[in-house]
Chain A
C-alpha cells in the first residue's frame, strides 16, 4: 500500500507470516488428530481447532496483508458464519454418534440424552 511507512509494512508482514504458520499448524494438528484419535468424539475434538482459532489466525494474516477495510469486513463475515455453522454440524454429528452407539456409555460422566421415562421433564429437548 502507498503512503504507509516501511516499518508498518514490515510489522504487518511479520504478523501475517506468524499467523499463517500458526493457523496452518492448527490445521495440521487437526489432520494428525483425526487420523490418530480413537473414536468419533475424540476426532471431533481435534477438528474444532482449525475451524475456529485456525481460521481466525489465517484470516488475520489475510487482513494484515491486504490492508483494506471492505476485505476485513468480509473476513469478519466469514468468521461469523463459521462460528454459527460449525456448532450446528458438531451437534448433529455428536448426537448421531450417540444414537448409533458409537459412544461407550462408560465413558460418559453425565448422560444428558436419555430417551424415555423422563422425557417429559425435559420438554423442549431434542425431539428429532
Chain B
C-alpha cells in the first residue's frame, strides 16, 4: 500500500474522531435543543465521512448504500426537533408587528431561564419539570 495513502487515511481518521468528539461535547453542553440539533448534524456528517473513509481505504463498495440512506434521512431529526421547538402560540399572526416574534421569544426565553433557575432543587437534578423542548 502506498505510504502517502496510509498517512492520509490515518490523518483523516484522527480528524474525524476529533470532530465527532467536539460535536458530542456541544451536544452535552447544549444549552438549547437547537444547539444540540446542530451539533448532531455534525455527528451525522462525521459518520458519513467515516463510512466514506473506510470505503476509500478498503475499496469495498457494500457500504455505499449506507451513505445514500444517511444522506436521505439525516435531516429528519433536525426538522422534527425544530418543528417542536417552533411551537406557535394561539395568537400568532394576529396584529403583530415587525420583530415581535423575536422580541417575545427573547422575553419568553428569559422567563423560562428564570423558571429553570428557580426550579433547581439541590437534591434532584432531573432537569426542569415540564416537558417542553428548548
A residues touching B (Cβ–Cβ < 8 Å)?
Answer: 10, 13-14, 16-18, 20-21, 23-25, 27-28, 30-32, 34-35, 40, 43-44, 46-47, 50-51, 54-55, 58-59, 61-62, 64-66, 68, 71, 74-75, 77-79, 81-82, 85-86, 88-89, 92-93, 95-105, 108, 111, 113-119
**A105 and B103 in contact (CB under 8 A), knowing A58-B49, A93-B37, A95-B86?**
yes
Is B119 located at the chain interface by the 8 A CB criterion? no
Determine which of B15, B22, B42 lies in contact with A25 in the assembled complex, contact meaning CB atoms within 8 Å.
B15
Is A17 within 8 A of B19, CB to CB? no
Bound together, the chains give a CA A75 to CA B95 distance in angstroms of: 49
Bound together, the chains give a CA A61 to CA B58 distance in angstroms of: 12
Is B85 located at the chain interface by the 8 A CB criterion? yes
Interface mask (B29-50 → A, CB under 8 Å = 1, otherwise 0): 0001011011101100110110
**A28 and B2 in contact (CB under 8 A), knowing A75-B67, A92-B83?**
no
Is B23 within 8 A of A111, CB to CB? no
Is A96 within 8 A of B107, CB to CB? no
Residues of B contacting A111 with CB < 8 Å?
A: 98-99, 102
Name A's interface SS. helix
A45 to chain B, nearest CB (A): 10
Residues of B contacting A75 with CB < 8 Å?
A: 64, 67
Is B120 located at the chain interface by the 8 A CB criterion? no
**A100 and B109 in contact (CB under 8 A), knowing A24-B11, A66-B59, A119-B93?**
yes
Bound together, the chains give a CA A32 to CA B46 distance in angstroms of: 13
